[in-house]
Chains A and B, each alone.
Chain A
Amino acid sequence: IIPYSCMLTMINSTLVVFEQPGVFIHLIVNPDEEDKLLSGTLSVYEHDTQVLSGTSSAVVASDATHVSPVQTQEITSELRQPSVSPEPNSSDPDWTVVADSNKHEDSFEMDVASSESQKTFPFKYDFTVDIEDLRYIRKSKKGLNWKYLVLELKDGANLPTLHFHEGGSKNFLKAIESYVMLAQSSKVTRTLEVMPHNNNALTQSFDELNLFECYDNVTDKNKTPISSAYSGLSKVTNYIQDFLNPAEVHYQTRPKHERATLVPDEATEAVGSSRIQIKQEEDTAGGFEMITCADLGPRSEPTRSLPINEEFWNNHKDEEGRIIDVDEVKRSIFRGGIDSNLRKEVWKYLLNYYIWDKTTAELKEHKEIKEENYYRMKMQWKSIDADQESRFTAISRENKSLIDKDVTRTDRTRIFYEGQENVSLKLLNDVLMTYCMFNFDLGYVQGMSDLLSPILEVMGSEVDAFWCFVGYMDIVQHNFDLNQRGMKVQLRDLHTLIQYMEPKLWDHLEEKESSNLYFCFRWLLIRFKREFSFEDIQTLWEVSWTGLPCRNFHLVMCLALLDTEKSSLMKEDCGFTEILKHVNEMSGKIELQATLRKAEGIYLQLAACRKDLPDSIRQILDL
């Protein structure tokens, strides 16, 4: 989503044990403006120290050089933390903070920086700290699209908040944990206390071990009196994963991997990290942290119906031709689609070419105006002669040649489009050319011919096809934006949905470097046009044009498709390449009705517990 520069921290005779590019620092230049983002690579490396003990010490380093403005919509305001974001020192724009155990008292100067230099981007912005100088690590709130961490040092200074837009925060913590111990802070929520390894831990008392066994039992909440007490505090739809504050217990001195498994970890394993929500129970003493898990409840498989037929349609017209009970019409179309002989008429309504409450007479007039408009715009490009065109910019000329290239290869195996001198090809060309006049700045982008082709075949008429296409493009035109905003937003939303609904699949995708979800690109760009048969795509599209049950139902479709395929996708040998290959090869093999049932089931499942969903999910699904 955000461009970043990748910098390797290469230092002689050091061992890089962890490296995560795409870690961002958000800078708030001015609260009214967009955040400035610095991207860089966060590394943990080991270097030999000449300390008497002879052990190696580890260092956390971040290197950021790239500054990029970010679209406001991609930053949620919750993430703005002016108090935490450090300010660069104006006297030293290239400042680098380096600390080792000898001089950390004087090396962190973030707090004394002036704000003046903030306006002068770009500047270099990197730091290196000794892991042993860390005091706390504050974790992000759950339910956000990405994780962030705030590293606090022993002298009280905060390092810049690190935003893991490309993931990796968990692995970072894991890497750190091989050098120090991280334990939930007793005083502050979402905060890990950094403690040195206790070398004697292994030989320490058996008492501790007994304690762990006691806590281990918490997994079985029915057996433990403490957990049943807390269940009263949780919401009815949630079930509690009790998390007892370990502050007073001695086992904190034991490295994590030597401890018995704590409940929250197990819950994370079972449900996936993203669905665990942390809720602060204000009224309990000691600031207990409740980790609750939204119980999604059972998933139903709603039944599908037959397509609406002529009788149904005519029953929903009044004597003057207005469509009555539009909501029911839409619901029925969502349930079963439209009989093929009715599509020509009903699509015009679904695509906002015809207006539901206009009478037949009014529609006739409406249609005449639209027709006139179409031919006026068509004339505009038709009347351009070669001489005039020769003075156009390359971009304007390019539309024509792009359309020409694509028209000759759009659905040519359909009878409607086959053969050399097929008049339908000319219609396809003319409608696309006219659309370039209609939506001049967007122009033609590959994929549009795929969207038009079924519409033109159903309409059979150039004018009707054009206005229906306009209606469809109104829904999907951001897919074709020059800045790709529409595609990015959809990929981000799909990311959020998968991470929440299919956390294990998400973990796999991340592990296989496929979390950008580009393998869904074709699905989204042309709304599954290449994935289904011509007949099925007509049904899918008319179902989606109802706008039911939510605008982003196509993303839920993606979720349903991935759910169906997840056992194949999550095989260990299914990597970056295989995931893409598998998804591409699903084309033509997808069962439409079953997928629609599953998608609706997922939607209803989420809708049933809307109160417990994170805001991000609710927003995507209009809940």
Chain B
Amino acid sequence: GIIATMTEQRKEYLFKVLVIGELGVGKTSVIKRYVHQIFSQHYRATIGVDFALKVVHWDGETLIRLQLWDIAGQERFGNMTRVYYREAVGAFIVFDATRASTFEAVNKWKNDLDNKVTLPDGRNIPTVLLGNKIDQMRGGLLSNKQQMDNYCDEKGFVAWFETSAKANINIDEAAKYLIDKILDNERSYSRNLPDPEALELNKDDDEKSGCCR
């Protein structure tokens, strides 16, 4: 899923990112917020798989086309939607912070993801955990910060964010964090390439945004 082209120091990437999690946790809303800066209570339930594309001007020299794959949460047709995991280089697993059952299912989604897709070098794809609908939760998840950090370490998430697609909380930050991780992986591939120019990536996007790490 990574296509990098280089024209006069400008780098262009295509990243395929999965958005998965239980039914009704707000996957479509997160994507629409991030891509179109809008929110509606009334997005339809996703049937099968949907798409969204966002062009990110990462820095002066890097353009990223982010392909967001909105994968239906219904378990029954899982085997038909899992084929779309292939070639993904990053993922968000979303749960509804107001519904414990959707958090309990996170582990299942993470295992499923790790079993079905890996980076070309065999590592798991970087995955960010999103606790969505935080606007409907008094106090948010921050009161459980330590627990959440431990959980993420244990389960192999690169980070977690509490988010609200409705109130536009932390969506951009979470996406930035994930893109940064994906770029890190890209750079480590580049280092293995003989092309010296591939190493010339600017490094001023060090901002570790978000509420954790």
Contacts and interface: CB of A to CB of B under 8 A. Distances in A.
Given A408-B41, A480-B76, A484-B80, A522 B51 contact: no
Contacts of A526: 47
A482 interface: yes
B213 interface: no
A409 B43 contact: yes
A324 B77 CA distance: 43
Contacts of B80: 484, 487, 516, 518, 521
A529 to B, nearest CB: 9
Interface residues of A, number: 29
Nearest to B51: A581
B24 interface: yes
B69 to A, nearest CB: 9
B148 interface: no
B47 A445 contact: no
A414 B77 CA distance: 28
Interface in B18-61: 23-24, 41-45, 47-51
Classify chain B's interface size.
20 to 34
Contacts of B77: 484, 487, 521, 525
Contacts of A482: 76
A16 interface: no
Contacts of A300: none
B72 interface: yes
A155 B136 CA distance: 75
Given A409-B45, A446-B47, A402 B23 contact: yes
A412 to B, nearest CB: 4
Contacts of B74: 445-446
B32 to A, nearest CB: 13
B100 interface: no
B124 interface: no
Interface in A67-101: none
B50 A530 contact: no
Interface string B138-170: 000000000000000000000000000000000
B57 to A, nearest CB: 22
Contact of A518 (B23, B48, B67): B48
A408 B24 CA distance: 10
Interface string B104-140: 0000000000000000000000000000000000000
Contacts of B50: 584
Contacts of B23: 402, 405, 446
A447 to B, nearest CB: 6
Contacts of B76: 445-446, 480, 482, 484
A488 to B, nearest CB: 9
Contact of A521 (B41, B44, B48): B48
Interface in A519-533: 521-522, 525-526, 530
15 contacts: A405-B23, A405-B24, A406-B24, A408-B42, A409-B42, A445-B74, A450-B44, A484-B77, A484-B79, A518-B48, A518-B49, A521-B47, A521-B49, A522-B47, A577-B16
Given A408-B42, A447-B47, 13 more contacts: A402-B23, A405-B24, A408-B41, A410-B44, A412-B41, A412-B42, A446-B45, A484-B77, A487-B77, A525-B77, A526-B47, A580-B84, A584-B50
Interface of B: 16, 23-24, 41-45, 47-51, 67, 72, 74, 76-77, 79-81, 83-84
9 residue pairs, one from A and one from B, having the closest CB atoms: A412-B42, A405-B24, A521-B48, A446-B74, A522-B47, A522-B48, A581-B51, A518-B80, A406-B45
